[in-house]
């Protein structure tokens, strides 16, 4: 059957589209409620003019062009490019649509993100293992920012200052607004509660409004219940989902660094003594990056960015690596680019699958495996996330499982923490955490940063 001429339903207010017409309708009702309807027809409203100029990106190997920035129409305070707006709004919908009782199917099934790259259907786990076996050097390329950025540097001659395409809409801003600085200095609201532990003792539990603990065990149970999942592998359950505060803006790189630090704290890996006072704030992380540059770690970053202390400039993998290296925390950074033989997201899938294979054998019969591995810092053009797992679907496709700092943990997922409840539509809750090829194929270069492997595999059934 020829599907090329079939009209795909789309949103009249933004670039969002989906083959599921009901999903598009729900997207419009949720993401654009201010536009309203008239006689059953959506009324087009003029979009706010976007400011900015086009500048060739140093990520040019990806053929990604710098785009205009627009404020998120959903009011989250995020500034995104036009090309990312539809995906951003789609994930807002996935974030909020699950707020209803997860044990009730009242919203109906949500379209799964199963549009990922389709591999040949696997007949057994040996085929899975072969398909996702990491090929040494496959898809690797030079770092897109600088030939010296992944090394302790001395000379910075000839280094160019980065622009809006790399540093975001506030690339030339000397100082962040005073209201934002005060908000970051104050930090998130903290809630305290008393909990009775398994041994009957009473302990204080402190929770920040922009953090969620024990989410990974919930995702493991959802993967177990999702019949479309053939195998799933997740990182240490101690990793916290840390997301931005309201009106915070684009500090995703810092939030992902915090998620890696949450693993270091929980696992007490080498370097955890640097974080005994809790998670460093965004302002403290900026100081730590500047100190790392002073020590000579990826110091070319200071020239490229013009400095990050007190600014809203985006940071990336080089800054994360500089920070950890300056503290004596081992880490490995790599770039994965499209080659003539392989697309970038295929190389990424293989690398992530190989990472989890270090701690788990694919020969086992368990559907979901929770490891003690660290999460992975993951960067693509304009945004960074934290990879917490990897899925192989029964149709041969693959998904990354991620914590995205742009989006908060839904109330539905929070209600499942510590329970054994079964969900009628687990894919609906997993959608916000899945990134398949429909998302990844837009990019031709990725960067990842990994902490040392000090892990073993844990049978999900034993948890």
Tell me if 373 sits within 8 A of 237, measured CB to CB: no
Residue 63 lies in a domain: no
Tell me if 138 sits within 8 A of 459, measured CB to CB: no
Residue 403 lies in a domain: yes
**Confidence (pLDDT) at 405:** 94
**Confidence (pLDDT) at 313:** 95
Residue 75 lies in a domain: no
Average pLDDT of adjacent 10-residue blocks, the chain of 463 residues: 59 64 61 41 29 32 48 63 62 55 40 33 35 36 37 51 89 93 92 68 77 96 96 96 89 97 95 93 98 96 95 96 96 94 95 88 77 96 95 93 93 91 92 94 94 65 44
- Tokens 């100190």 belong to which residue? 291
Domain of 263, in residue numbers: 210-450
Pairwise CA distance, residues 92 & 73, whole Å: 11
Residue 323 lies in a domain: yes
The token duo for 350 is 């293989």
Residue 369 lies in a domain: yes
Instruction: Count CB-CB contacts under 10 A for residue 197.
Output: 9
**Confidence (pLDDT) at 190:** 84
Residue 337 lies in a domain: yes
Q: Which residues contact 211 (CB under 8 A, 6 or more apart)?
A: 188, 240, 241, 242, 243
Pairwise CA distance, residues 333 & 16, whole Å: 33
Residue 29 lies in a domain: no
Residue 249 lies in a domain: yes
**Confidence (pLDDT) at 8:** 73
Domains held by the chain: number: 1
What's the chain look like in SS3?
Answer: CCCCCCCCCECCCCCCECCCHHHHHHHHHHHCHHHCEECCEECCCCCCCCECCCCCCCCHHHCCCCCCEEECCCCCCCEEEHHHHHHHHHHHHHHHHHHCCCCCCCCCCCCCCCCCCECCCCCCHHHHHHHCCCCCCCCECCCCCCCCCCCECCCCCCCCCCCHHHHCCCCCCCCCCHHHHHHHHHCCCEEEEEEECCCCCEEEEEEECCEECCHHHHHHHHHHHCCCEEEEEECCCCCCEECCCCCCCCCHHHHHHHHHHHHHHHHCCCCHHHHCCCCCCHHHHHHHHHHHHHCCECCHHHHHHCCCCCCCCCCCHHHHHHHHHHCCCCCEEEEEECCCCCCHHHHHHHHHHHHHHCCCCCCCCCCEEEECCCCEEEEECCEEEEEEEEEEECCCEEEEEEECCCCCCCHHHHHHCCCCCCCCCHHHHHHHHEECHHHHCCCCEEEEEECCCCCCEEEHHHC
CATH of the domain at 317: 3.90.70.130
**Confidence (pLDDT) at 197:** 61
Tell me if 460 sits within 8 A of 427, measured CB to CB: no
């Amino acid at each position: 059957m020829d599907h090329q001429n079939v009209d795909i339903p789309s949103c009249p207010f933004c670039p969002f589209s989906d083959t599921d017409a009901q999903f598009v309708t729900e997207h419009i009702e949720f993401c654009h409620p201010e536009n309203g309807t008239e006689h059953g027809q959506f009324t087009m409203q003029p979009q706010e003019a976007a400011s900015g100029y086009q500048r060739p990106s140093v990520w040019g190997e990806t053929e990604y062009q710098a785009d205009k920035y627009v404020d998120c129409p959903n009011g989250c305070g995020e500034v995104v490019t036009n090309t990312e707006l539809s995906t951003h709004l789609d994930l807002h919908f996935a974030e909020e649509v699950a707020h209803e009782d997860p044990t009730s199917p009242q919203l109906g099934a949500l379209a799964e993100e199963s549009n990922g790259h389709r591999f040949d259907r696997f007949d057994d786990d040996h085929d899975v293992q072969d398909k996702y076996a990491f090929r040494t050097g496959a898809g690797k390329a030079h770092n897109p920012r600088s030939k010296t950025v992944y090394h302790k540097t001395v000379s910075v001659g000839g280094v160019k200052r980065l622009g809006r395409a790399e540093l975001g809409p506030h690339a030339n801003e000397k100082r962040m607004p005073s209201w934002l600085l005060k908000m970051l200095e104050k930090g998130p609201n903290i809630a305290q509660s008393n909990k009775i532990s398994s041994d009957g003792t009473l302990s204080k539990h402190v929770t920040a409004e922009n953090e969620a603990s024990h989410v990974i065990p919930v995702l493991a149970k959802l993967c177990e219940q999702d019949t479309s999942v053939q195998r799933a592998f997740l990182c240490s359950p101690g990793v916290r989902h840390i997301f931005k505060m309201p009106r915070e803006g684009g500090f995703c790189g810092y939030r992902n660094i915090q998620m890696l630090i949450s693993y270091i704290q929980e696992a007490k890996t080498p370097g955890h003594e640097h974080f005994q006072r809790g998670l460093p704030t965004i302002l403290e992380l900026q100081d730590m990056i500047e100190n790392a540059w002073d020590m000579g770690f990826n110091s070319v970053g200071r020239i490229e960015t013009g400095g990050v202390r007190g600014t809203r400039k985006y940071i990336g993998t080089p800054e994360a690596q500089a920070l950890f290296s300056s503290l004596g925390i081992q880490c490995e950074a790599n770039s994965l680019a499209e080659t003539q033989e392989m697309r970038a997201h295929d190389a990424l899938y293989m690398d992530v699958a190989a990472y989890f294979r270090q701690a788990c054998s694919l020969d086992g019969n368990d559907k979901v495996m929770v490891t003690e591995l660290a999460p992975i810092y993951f960067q693509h053009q304009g945004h960074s996330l934290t990879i917490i797992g990897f899925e192989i679907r029964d149709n041969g496709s693959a998904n990354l499982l991620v914590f995205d700092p742009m989006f908060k943990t839904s109330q539905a997922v929070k209600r499942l923490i510590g329970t054994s409840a079964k969900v009628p539509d687990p894919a609906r809750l997993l959608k916000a955490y899945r990134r398949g090829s429909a998302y990844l194929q837009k990019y031709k270069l990725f960067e990842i940063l990994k902490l040392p492997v000090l892990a073993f595999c844990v049978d999900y059934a034993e948890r």
